[in-house]
Chains A and B, each alone.
Chain A
């Protein structure tokens, strides 16, 4: 009896997930339809609805396109960045992101050390999950190698291969650690309002340090009520009201 009940629940759960998928797909397709007919605002809204139910790179990518067609550069970049996090090597996403960024009026000079920049580039190229796959593969290879050694009870002459596997394992583990660390402590943000004031403190009463234009990317390093503490790649730091910034 209990077994039957369990089976029924499992079935229901599976079905509900299928139904949910179907709903998302239909929303997504109607958004595409709206996009095709150049109703970009409607398309954007529908993509947004879909994005609430499913975390898919294509939804964000299309949202970015719709936002760009609506002439909202900030929202476009924000959504391309979200899409890139989910699908970091997709050429369409990268191309559109680069294209929209190339049209920005201002550019912040990157004054970070080469190591940090390089690290950023490399880590943005790979997902945490992919690091996991790589780690597992190398781990499996090492285990296989170990089993073989134990079964044959001989000193197998695979020394360089062993060393290579171990180095790979260490590097991947370091990369994975960095990626995880990055994801935990760092939060990227994109300016989504045309002109945003950056204050010295988390209130409108604090003096304005500088201004940011729509589409510029920042690092969010702290939060306080409705304010984000941000840092730019040139080292400038300030506070921005949350309505001016979208978090990736």
Chain B
């Protein structure tokens, strides 16, 4: 059983590993060129096709050719499996560039497959004499036009390319070329700087590693296509793939000599083009060439030589008054939203300047001062687009006019001038004249919201500082006046006076308080003496007989007690009530029985006043005793 499984496995493995019987045989090899007749420097594409064959087929070596430069440009493989038969086709591509005219034979080319050598048939190529200086061959893109020259510029303006900078890392297979559309131009004239990456590798552009230095220029980034267009180009007899990676429009701000440092680009390249192993070869086939799964990539920093630009000043001769710096080619149009308005109602005048030039710095034509009209700049919008190889655009200005009086409002023709660098002359354009009927209205003037945000067109600028210097001398002295006293004098006098008043008030308050304290002490001290004096009088009253006199006794006793307690407690004897007395006594921590006996005394007084006179004698005696007892105690 085990044996059976082993055999089966062995069979499967051998079936998988051994090549199919049909493969080793039928290796067909052919060579072909895309044309038999070519001009000098014209590219001829040679392809060697191998049908069948297996394993690692190394790219065939082209025998040395005297009449041609030969370059390997990659391989393409195709595998098919039809009716159990596998088919493999490998194509090796070469570029041949004829160097001499005549009839030449290419090959036979040897191909080694599994140790066996196969040969192709020789190919005859006829090379004709000089046809085009730099031959252009559409492959696959449209014909290559050497420099990026703006169509509007004369052919003389075509500048030589700035050659790749030889550096320690210089690699002839990849370089960057920076082209300026012009080297001599007028102030504010447009110039386009084109960055082209020329490569013979599988290359990935990764942006700028060092930004270009363009001081002295107004820079406007060129709107680029999303997909970078690639073209083939021959430089020094070698075929390169060219991609224009960046374009900037530059506008010099002032005349003079300027040096533009183009900065540096970063590109990642796949260095190894001739794979050695089967796996590498498989993955580096044209199908995978962009994926670079196992490819070794190297970053390259590419720079170019600085470019010197000469900027000429604009000619003074024939400069119109309305010229405000626009250089290029422009056209102007304008429109108005209403022809008839009411007084204080806004009218919108739209001015559009369109063309090739520095759109961003354009200003609208100056509006002359109009009587009884308020003018507001409300809005300005810029748009950019490409026209051939130049940057162009459109700037729309909206100007709001508010007529303040009724009648006809005439907006005069507004002149706009620019300098045309091709024709080397100034051109003045103008908007049409507008006439607006203004009806009378009683409504208050309204500033349009859109205009209120903007600045009024009537000159309302910030005060401009022209220079700085010290401020001027002071021409008068701050002499102390002899008539008026210094504030210190008044404040000091006031402070002293107030201090005196305060001190007096304080002294008086203290004095009053002290006197109060003294009086209360005196009252307390003399309280008993006064009470005993009154007690003597009371004793005399007790001896009286009439009931009227008896009542007088109790009244007197009550008065005595009131006076005594008021003196002791430093209160007024008038209106003194029992609850007040009790409260004060408790507050002074007088013993409870003492308070009780004082309460009893007052109760007795109140009772006897309404009782009959028989009860009087006993009560009077008792009362006297009570008073004496209270007087003896300390409160």
**Chain B residues close to A by CB (< 8 Å):** 468-479, 482, 487-488, 491-492, 494-495, 498-499, 501-502, 505-506, 509
Contacts and interface: CB of A to CB of B under 8 A. Distances in A.
A165 interface: no
Contacts of B477: 24-25, 28, 54, 56, 58-59
Interface string A8-33: 00000010011001001100100010
Contacts, number: 80
Nearest to A97: B470
A35 B499 CA distance: 51
A118 interface: no
19 contacts: A24-B477, A32-B473, A56-B478, A61-B473, A92-B474, A95-B471, A99-B469, A100-B470, A133-B491, A136-B488, A136-B494, A137-B491, A143-B501, A143-B502, A144-B498, A146-B502, A146-B505, A147-B502, A147-B505
Contacts of A132: 488
Interface in A84-101: 87, 92, 95-96, 99-100
Nearest to A136: B491
Contacts of B471: 65, 92, 95-96
Contacts of A35: 473
A150 B470 contact: no
Given A92-B474, A144-B498, A146-B502, 4 more contacts: A56-B478, A61-B474, A99-B468, A99-B469
A216 to B, nearest CB: 19
A21 B481 CA distance: 10
Q: Which 10 A-B pairs have the closest CB atoms?
A: A58-B474, A150-B505, A136-B491, A143-B498, A62-B473, A96-B470, A92-B471, A65-B473, A143-B502, A147-B502
A31 B495 CA distance: 42
A143 B505 contact: no
Among B470, B475, B478, B488, the most chain A Cβ lie within 10 Å of the Cβ of B470
A11 to B, nearest CB: 12
- Taking chain A's interface residues, is the majority helix, strand, or loop, or is none over half, making it mixed? helix
B470 A99 contact: yes
A185 to B, nearest CB: 25
Query: Range of interface residues on chain A?
Result: 35 or more
Instruction: Name which of A14, A133, A150 has the most chain B CB atoms within 10 A of its CB.
Output: A150
Contacts of A28: 477
Nearest to B470: A96
Contacts of A32: 473, 475
Given A147-B505, A150-B502, A139 B479 contact: no
A54 B505 CA distance: 44
A61 B471 CA distance: 10
A156 interface: no
B485 to A, nearest CB: 13
B481 to A, nearest CB: 10
Contacts of A57: 478
Contact of B491 (A66, A68, A140): A140
A72 to B, nearest CB: 13
B487 A133 contact: yes
B352 to A, nearest CB: 47
B98 to A, nearest CB: 71
B501 A68 contact: no
Contacts of A17: 482
Contact of B495 (A62, A66, A100, A136): A136
A35 B473 CA distance: 9
A153 interface: yes
Given A129-B488, A133-B491, A140-B491, A151 B505 contact: yes
